[in-house]
Chain A
Amino acid sequence: MNGLTGAYVPGDSPLHRLPAGAKLAGLAALCTVLVLLRAPVAMAVAALVVGVLFAVSGVGAAAAWAQVRPVRWFAVALFVMQVVFADLPSAITSVSRVVLAVALAGLVTLTTRTVAMMAFLERCLSPARWVGLDPFRLSLLLSLTIRSVPVMADLATRVREAQRARGVEWSVRAFAVPLVVSALRHADALGEALSARGLDDHDEGTGHAAP
């Protein structure tokens, strides 16, 4: 969960100072290279490069591991399948390709504030204005999604605990119904809070007629 939410590790490394757009472009470029690489030796070099980037960022081993951890079982499964159905070198290449790509993406998250990411996204999305979409809203949607992950996880835990407290061990319906209800209620409250913070108004002039 932490891989997505508030993963930013404050710092002053060159990677932290790089603009979000440059980092995303770099990420795209490096991932392309990863796809093109074939030999295990080349992968070893790539791993070294990624290692150096992490060292430069100074985010620490724990934060780095937290980024890769979610794919660990997938990596193991992929490795086993590749060994069985292909051969050892291709197993090594495909697994390192996945792990390194995830690590690189994680490095971008670890060194970029959500605000910077949003600002970049908004600039990229500005052509959306021509088809009537508001780039600010689109990027707000993104950050709300990120923010909602821990809130939802929290709601799920609470529903689970309430069930246990009543002696219900496991029932899909008794889990899903209250979770959906509280999610909807949360969405409602969030919408209200957003409009209380003035985020539903577009202009700076006189107000709109209320609905």
Chain B
Amino acid sequence: MVCVIELDDVRVRLGQREVLCGVTAALPERRVGVIGANGSGKSTLARLLNGLVLPTSGTVTVLGDDTRRHAARIRRRVGFLFTDPDAQIVMPTVAEDVAFSLRRRKLPREEVERRVADILERYGLAGHADHPAHQLSGGQKQLLALCSVLVLEPEILVMDEPTTLLDLRHSRLVADVLRELPQQVVVVSHDLALLADFDRLLVLDEGRIVADTTPRAAIDHYRKLMS
């Protein structure tokens, strides 16, 4: 089987702390979840997957490329959604922010406008296209950030707690989106319901993978760990 994401004895040291201590995993599944306590290294693991964080030792291979050598190319192929949508929205209005993602593609203007309109329509933001982004609710901002990532059609989508700021309805919307996305997704979350039907779940604890199994078994393990 072709492994889309491969981590080989990855260690990450940030400042004085060893944040990840020897993580090895091959992740070919379409939907992979990561859970674990606060500070266990989940965000660091997610950031490794598109080269935002580089391993201190060991290698991270994504779509056949080493993140240490091909960070720019990997970032074009791996979309990343952060927890805080405010930091991801860079343009003043909704449609402009989505269009901004496409800038470097050098597409004709009509093509850009069509793609932007399509994606805003799909995620229920069409009515807000020309609204200032700061007037959206937190959930709508997260959807906008998602649109701005998905419009680039990444081959892998990595999300760090995408539903933390969302209400139940918007969380479900994101869950539905995840279910239908054709690409591979890796989701870090404390929202166990979101990950319940994933193909595989990793449990991190103090920088190590302590369980790597089906969601049901992983969640049980995580509950015991937390009690």
The chain A residues found within 8 Å of chain B, CB to CB, are 2, 5-6, 8, 10, 113-115, 140, 143-144, 146-147, 150-151, 154, 186, 189-190, 192-201, 203-204, 206-210
Contact indicator per residue, chain B 147-178, by CB within 8 Å of chain A (1) or not (0): 01100100000000000000000000000000
Contact indicator per residue, chain B 103-134, by CB within 8 Å of chain A (1) or not (0): 01000000000000000000000000011111
Please determine whether B104 and A190 come into contact, CB atoms closer than 8 angstroms. Answer: no
Please determine whether B93 and A186 come into contact, CB atoms closer than 8 angstroms. Answer: no
Please determine whether B92 and A147 come into contact, CB atoms closer than 8 angstroms. Answer: yes
| Alpha-carbon distance A195/B99, docked complex (angstroms) | 16
Closest 9 CB pairs of A and B: A6-B132, A207-B72, A189-B87, A150-B134, A201-B72, A196-B80, A210-B71, A207-B70, A193-B88
Interface pairs (7), CB distance under 8 Å: A5-B134, A115-B91, A151-B86, A193-B80, A196-B80, A206-B70, A210-B69
Please determine whether A114 and B134 come into contact, CB atoms closer than 8 angstroms. Answer: no
| Alpha-carbon distance A11/B84, docked complex (angstroms) | 32
Please determine whether A201 and B135 come into contact, CB atoms closer than 8 angstroms. Answer: no
Please determine whether B90 and A190 come into contact, CB atoms closer than 8 angstroms. Answer: yes
**Residues of chain A within 8 A of B5, CB atoms compared:** none
| Alpha-carbon distance A208/B72, docked complex (angstroms) | 6
| Alpha-carbon distance A203/B133, docked complex (angstroms) | 29
> Which of A144, A147, A189, A208 is close to B133, meaning CB atoms less than 8 Å apart?
A147
Please determine whether B76 and A198 come into contact, CB atoms closer than 8 angstroms. Answer: yes
Tell me the B51-82 residues at the A interface (CB within 8 Å). 51-52, 54, 67-76, 79-80, 82
Please determine whether B69 and A209 come into contact, CB atoms closer than 8 angstroms. Answer: yes
B184 at the interface (CB under 8 A from A): no
17 extra A-B contacts, CB within 8 A, seeds A206-B70, A206-B73 = A8-B93, A114-B92, A114-B96, A115-B91, A151-B86, A192-B82, A193-B87, A195-B75, A196-B52, A197-B90, A197-B148, A197-B152, A198-B152, A199-B104, A201-B76, A207-B74, A210-B67
Please determine whether A6 and B74 come into contact, CB atoms closer than 8 angstroms. Answer: no
B214 at the interface (CB under 8 A from A): no
A113 — nearest CB in chain B belongs to which residue?
B96
* A84 smallest CB distance to B (angstroms): 41
CB contacts between A and B, total, < 8 Å: 105
B54 — nearest CB in chain A belongs to which residue?
A210
| Alpha-carbon distance A154/B138, docked complex (angstroms) | 12
| Alpha-carbon distance A181/B129, docked complex (angstroms) | 32
B50 at the interface (CB under 8 A from A): yes
Please determine whether B87 and A190 come into contact, CB atoms closer than 8 angstroms. Answer: yes
| Alpha-carbon distance A208/B67, docked complex (angstroms) | 11
**Residues of chain A within 8 A of B74, CB atoms compared:** 207
| Alpha-carbon distance A189/B88, docked complex (angstroms) | 8
**Residues of chain A within 8 A of B10, CB atoms compared:** none
| Alpha-carbon distance A10/B86, docked complex (angstroms) | 23
> Which of A8, A146, A193 is close to B82, meaning CB atoms less than 8 Å apart?
A193
Quick one: given A193-B87, A198-B75, are A207 and B132 in contact (CB under 8 Å)?
no
| Alpha-carbon distance A5/B67, docked complex (angstroms) | 37
**Residues of chain A within 8 A of B51, CB atoms compared:** 210
> Which of A147, A150, A200 is close to B90, meaning CB atoms less than 8 Å apart?
A147
A207 — nearest CB in chain B belongs to which residue?
B72
Please determine whether A189 and B82 come into contact, CB atoms closer than 8 angstroms. Answer: yes
* A138 smallest CB distance to B (angstroms): 14
Please determine whether A207 and B134 come into contact, CB atoms closer than 8 angstroms. Answer: no
**Residues of chain A within 8 A of B201, CB atoms compared:** none
